[in-house]
Amino acid sequence: MTASRPFSRREFLATTAAALAGSSLSFAADAPAASEPIIDIHQHTHYGGKRDKNWNYVSGARTDEELVAHQRKMGITKTILLPSGRPLIRPSTHEGRSNGLESTCTANDACMALAKQFPKEFVFGANEVPDIAEAPSVIEKYLKMGAVVIAEQKFGVECDSPEMQRLYQMAADYNVPILMHWQVGSYNYGFPHFYKMLEKYPKTNFLGHAQTFWANIDKANVDDPKNLYPKGKITPGGITDRYLSDYPNMYGDLSAGSCNNSIKRDPEHARAFWDRHQDKLLFGSDCADSVGVGEECTGASTIGLIRKLASSKAIERKLLYGNAKKLFRL
């Protein structure tokens, strides 16, 4: 295995500056009252920036102030902030490509700082690169400080590796979910045999997210790293559909372009899928924009689709609020 090394001082400062930025926010702490509460289970601090060809962070990421404004525009009443792991050069981070969750998202301290500043609106998760020796102790540290999820696990590791299994057990021990980014060829390898982990850790609640998770609602889907956003009508009964049906500890994260695409490609299927799994699906945004409204914002678009397509008001409220409130005990 390639030896890991920390980033340079310049890179380190860029990734941790957000932890201090929250203290300088000057806008009002009280969000406008929403007509109906919405919980967003998937957002990130300092999301959407760019890095140079050497994977050094550069400017352009969304600020904490912009994130708070974005969530309020979407009508979100409680947001879960998902941190990245520490920046490392090693195979599990694709030699740095996966640092910052393959973006410029910041780590545990930054998420916790913003959540502490706005406790009515934000809570935070705990994360670390899973195959380093100190990963369990780092994650446990933040769980003890109030983290409500282990996430977002987005690293190049086998889903049934010993390193991941120790996190599954920790999630059960602390009664928090673990959210996994499934992307064939890149992150959390082995989705077709993940059922073995669902069976081995029945007390661990797993949240599925991203391209491979949502592509596999389709029974006709064939995993293809070059076609992560398939189009066309969906045949029910794919791997994801079966996991949600067969395992009480499998849940789905309705976030990002991958989920949004799965809705738009076959709205009739989406409505039936939500009926079938109405107690297992939770809204998340996972969008990097600063707009917070309209089609330019994936989160706002998904909220609109849920309100438009849900077959009943009761199901709409479960997807946008009730399921997350129950699973995360908010």
Asked if residue 115 lies in contact with residue 123, where contact means CB atoms within 8 angstroms, the answer is yes
Looking at residue 54, its pLDDT comes to 66
* Cis, bond preceding 152 (omega within 30 deg of 0): yes
Tell me the average pLDDT across 73-78: 98
pLDDT in tens, 226-270: 789 999 999 999 999 999 999 999 999 999 999 999 999 999 999
Helix (H, G, I), strand (E, B) or coil at 250: strand
Asked which of 10-14, 215-219, 269-273 is least confident by mean pLDDT, the reply is 10-14
The count of residues in the chain is 330
User: How far apart (Å, rounded) are the C-alpha atoms in residues 259 and 205?
Assistant: 20
The 8-class DSSP code of residue 320 comes to I
Question: Which residue has better confidence, 64 or 2?
Answer: 64
| Percent of the chain predicted with pLDDT > 90 | 83
Q: Is the pLDDT of residue 11 over 80?
A: no
> b vs e for 37-61, b when ≥16 Cβ sit within 10 Å of the residue's Cβ?
bbbbbbbbbbbbbebeeebebeeeb
Q: How many CA atoms lie within 13 A of 239 on its CB side?
A: 17
pLDDT score of 259: 97
**% the chain with pLDDT above 70:** 87
Assigned superfamily of 9-20+41-327? Metal-dependent hydrolases (3.20.20.140)
